[in-house]
A = this chain, B = another copy of it.
Amino acid sequence: MTGAAGTRVARAALSRLFEPSDAVGPTLVSLVGPDDALRIARRDLTAGSQVRRMLQEALGTSGGRRDPLDDGLSRWAARLGDLAPERDLATLERLGGRLLTPESAGWPEALDDLQLAAPLCLWVRGRKDIPERVRTAALVGSRDSTAYGDSVTDEIAAGLATRGFSVVSGGAYGIDARAHRAALASSEDGELPPTIALLACGVDRYYPAGNEDLLRRVADSGLLISEVPPGSSPTRWRFLQRNRLIAALSAVTVVVEARWRSGALNTAHHAAGLGRAVGAVPGSVHSANSAGCHRLLRDGSAVCVSDAADVAELAGPLGSEPGDREREAASPAREQDGLAVPDLLLLDGLPRRAATTVDKLSSVAGLSTRDVISGLARLELAGLAVRAAGGWRRREG
């Protein structure tokens, strides 16, 4: 097989051969392309000294004891017998999925920011397109979320979905599952963006088992995405690498709850490393499940977010409703807001019951008679002062 179809199959094969972010593989692909990279890995093609030298230079290993390609070849050798990309692609098709590659339409450009750590391809289940980055927000957090974390996740995910954001997460228990569920519940009302679950295993597997029903619903109404082929198990390494895809695909990554050590912090650091916005939801200082969020806030890695409006604002231009402005509007203005200093001093000096004179006000407020008189006129206009028997008194708001 040659040409575009061949490249597609080659990428599918390489995604089984190389672990995500293999130290050598992606660089080899960048130098010789996926087709020749696969041939070299299968030993159908011998890499010339020029390729070896370029590889050494690209990896900064020139002069090292071992040749990096030999390292790679010995790693990949053990998996050559498992290669069956056509079978994997057929499995994906049976599941209603499709393979996306950098060469195909619909490839998310956001992943190019990962440079050499970009995935070789994406195994995708679900009918919808991956939305452009400005329309996506990741919600991640503890597997053992608290009732607080659950309710905040519900609110933020629903709010993001109704604002037109695709909610991205990892399909795990706890915060991830709540985020997907709330996004699905919101999108059932209309044609809202798909919720996206980035998996550490193949998209034919439902992991963790307790989330099978949820993941099936995501596959139906949203998108299940993985960089490893069908049949692959979730390993710790793949979970860690999967996190970089969540971060790269999303305009903003929000950690809702996380312990002091938590995989969610790893996702946040990936996002920060890519220059993406990172948010953290505050919580009780007594909750171990918020300690990781507070850690991110404390070291300046994340911005404090309290609701969907905050997250939308952080995501950038599309999130055009500033949370602050909403709260400003919701917070009742106080009667003295906007008063200049002399009028504030005067208002402070005005008694609420018995009236007082201009002279007394001048002494109490520390203002000249002239300032007292002009100030009283302004306060009267503002409905804060009233003329009474014996002078002036304060008018209750």
Contact = CB atoms under 8 A, between A and B. Distances in A.
Interface stretch (A177-185, A188-196, A342-350): A342-350
Interface residues of A, number: 64
Nearest to A314: B298
A204 B202 CA distance: 75
A362 B304 contact: no
Contacts of A336: 236
Nearest to A344: B237
A256 to B, nearest CB: 10
Interface stretch (A45-53, A267-275, A277-285): A277-285
Contacts of A341: 23, 237
Nearest to A285: B306
Interface in A67-104: 71, 74-79, 81-82
B295 A363 contact: no
A109 to B, nearest CB: 28
A305 interface: yes
Nearest to A336: B236
A378 interface: no
B368 A74 contact: yes
Contact of A298 (B151, B235, B304): B304
Interface string A311-341: 0000000000000100110010010100001
